[in-house]
Chain A
Amino acid sequence: MEVYLDNAATTRVLPEVAEAMREAMLDKYGNPSSLHRLGLEAEKLTAAARGRLAAVLGCAPEEVIFTSGGTEANALAIRGAAWARHGEGRHLITTRTEHPSVLETCRMLQQEGWEVTYLEVDSTGTLDPAQLERALRPTTVLVSVHYVNNEVGAIQPITAIRGILGTGKRRPWLHVDAVQALGKLPVRVSDLGADLLSLSAHKIHGPKGVGALYARRGIRLRPLLAGGEQEFGLRAGTENVPGIVGFGLAAHLAEEARPLAAEHMRQLKVEMGARLLTEVPGCRINGPPPEQGAPHILNVRLPAIRGETMVHYLEERGVYVSTTSACASRRHPVSHVLVALGLGEEEAASSLRISLSRLTTREEIAFALTHIREGVAELGRIRMR
């Protein structure tokens, strides 16, 4: 049995998504910029996918810019906004628990002369909007906050944050990294009040290498890549047509399934959290309590067992989980998110992230639980260092 519980890292592509992409690669392989029929067919495919994204977000198709993924969407939002508004002010606000693509982009801007405020979160990983209020300055041009934390599943109060930013013409723009929210929470931009919002395809059973940035009409961004009029002049380069097709379909299916799927994941997650707490002595939950938080991410800490060792123990038994966000886990042994939540180094090093998808079944969760329980008993004999 293979039980994949690392869906916050990436997901398996749905067969129908792969099939649609295959067609885009083998039959409708034209360049959307070409004048001939094949070019037109490819253009229609990207337009249809853009329409599907717009339907999910509740926006106009012209407000959807396809990118190479969540990282590029975040970079385009933050760098693009900072550059576009640098005459109005050079202050940005974000949180300590953002994805590295946000944090590192902010650090690069600091080196280029911008000031950045990194807001603290509470022990569940949630931002207190009052903190933001205190950090705002007349020179703040952008506030970038993730919707769902990728490591512990904390949900940020986006609408409250938006309320604080006011309605003035020179108010800061709000960028929301919604990569982990798509398919789990509603992402209608008008409800959230986002000016900019990042998405990624491979977290929702779509392909890797494609994402999107929503940019509200009236927002001027400075592009990162020059040399073509694609994506309304905001992202030069021949469109990743197969990826975009796959993204469009995956987003459509995820949104269609969302109400039931979110409830399904939440039930499994709550059940798993409860059983871990009762069946594994010394086990603790990191981040929000399971019934709060995003429906698909459960972060737990096991008594005195390195997360890494548990990952390898479980993989030998066909269960795949992760220690921390996949991008960071190889270089930095300790998660910046868990540290921001107030965990010590040892506690952070013994933490595991279990992340579900709408395809996860109750049997899979039971299988994983059994092995985690056995693993704790077996590995607990050898104390970690």
Chain B
Amino acid sequence: MDRLFLIHYGEIGLKGENREFFERKLQAGLQRALASWPGASVERRHGRLYVMNTPDPEQALSRLQRVFGVVAVSPAVRAPLDLEQIRAAARQLVSEAAAAAATGATAHATAEATARPLTFKVKARRTNKGFQPDSMGLQRLLGADLLASVPGLKVDVHEPALTLQVEIRESAYLYCRSLPGPGGLPLGSSGKALLLLSGGIDSPVAGWMAMRRGLEVECVHFYTPPFTGPRSVEKVEDLCRQLAAWCGRIRLHLARFTEVQQAIWEKVPEDLRVLVMRRFMMRVAGLLARQQEAPALVTGENLGQVASQTVESLTVIEAASPLIVLRPLLAWDKAEIVRKAQEIGTYEISIRPYEDCCTLFVPRHPRTRPTLSELEDAEASLPVDTLVQGCLEKVESSVLKPPVWI
């Protein structure tokens, strides 16, 4: 009887001819999450993924729950195709689950609730038709067996508190719990993109959403010393570390933007400054992305959240980008973005009070209906290519890993 984790994945199963490609990417993602445990292994067998030999089951579970492409993880028991051994495994697993339910109940509820029996059912699935009895027979047999051997159980086939799943394949797999993963597609299965990461709440969430759809993400952050200080860079690095908790490691490019900012300040009318600034960011990010062989940009832009996010503004900003601009949060409400940020652990970092270059340069009355020709006129007096190249040349890159406590 082995302990292992059974990985459930969703859409990959629908990918037809490419299924193997996606499964291999998912396998790589799982291996990356377990990289600090040399003994741990990920097995791919008959369109299923199993994780074995993890030293710390609770920590393993939380790591596996952060692997993109994983719909759910089940801590499971594997038994040989032998009825006696399957029965023993079922008794073991259900006793453990009953004990856990009892401690949970005493912690939260009254003595009366504790005394109440634990409702359960057995659900069997037999893909290996060579095994007898069949699914129905196995359910009945194991159900009766558990009722007799584990105290405090009661059958309820409609709304059981506990469901013992039994899968009969080349071996028998039994499990009671399925914990949710992030879903989506395995990291890297959609290629690579460059995320424009500010210190705010939105952009890290946008990056996470892009990763969830299979994009490997690198980040670029524009900073403007001395208008921003070293703590605002540290904040962005911490955001990357938190994102790395989901993808293993992440590359951050720091682009010093002060010279561009100063040129804009001197030459561009106040109400267009933020738009020109965003257009410069697009240009620098676009070239940087090409250097990194990433064919897309990702931003945290959202329709209508601030003045520079009207359809007209997004149009003129995007016009400066040589690459497609992906905006995973386009149609989200702020409250939804905040909730997601809290869920993925970036919120507390984002609300640290250090300013980024955008907040310092927000005009009093920004334009909400700009046209491209206005922007081009405003930029006419700027040495655009020189400024972009100057910014690009000073980019410093580093690779960040998850915080030690994750």
Interface residues, chain A, CB within 8 Å of chain B? 306, 308-316, 330-331, 375, 379, 381-382, 385
Contact = CB atoms under 8 A, between A and B. Distances in A.
A142 B226 CA distance: 45
24 contacts: A306-B227, A308-B229, A310-B226, A311-B226, A312-B226, A312-B227, A312-B228, A312-B229, A312-B230, A313-B225, A314-B226, A315-B226, A316-B225, A316-B226, A330-B353, A331-B353, A375-B226, A379-B226, A381-B262, A381-B265, A381-B266, A382-B262, A385-B361, A385-B362
Nearest to B354: A330
Interface in B94-109: none
Contacts of A381: 262, 265-266
Nearest to B258: A382
A179 B360 CA distance: 35
B147 to A, nearest CB: 54
Q: Dominant SS at the A interface?
A: helix
Contacts of A312: 225-230
A375 B226 CA distance: 10
Contacts of A385: 360-362
Find the residue from A308, A315, A379 having the highest chain B CB count within 10 A. Answer: A308
Contacts of B353: 330-331
A370 to B, nearest CB: 16
A173 B228 CA distance: 46
Interface residues of B, number: 13
Nearest to B227: A309
Contacts of A310: 226
A314 B229 CA distance: 11
A310 B262 CA distance: 16
Interface string B336-357: 0000000000000000010000
Nearest to B355: A308
B119 to A, nearest CB: 49
Contacts of A311: 226, 229
A178 B1 CA distance: 70
B394 to A, nearest CB: 14
A5 to B, nearest CB: 16
Nearest to B359: A385
A361 B50 CA distance: 67
Given A316-B226, A381-B265, A382-B265, 10 more contacts: A308-B229, A311-B226, A312-B225, A314-B226, A315-B229, A315-B230, A379-B226, A381-B266, A385-B360, A385-B361
Nearest to A330: B353
A381 B226 CA distance: 13
A309 B226 contact: yes
Nearest to A332: B353
Contacts of A316: 225-226
A375 B227 CA distance: 12
Interface string B205-233: 00000000000000000000111111000
A312 B224 CA distance: 10
A-B pairs with the 3 shortest C-beta distances?
A: A312-B226, A313-B226, A312-B229
Interface string B266-293: 1000000000000000000000000000
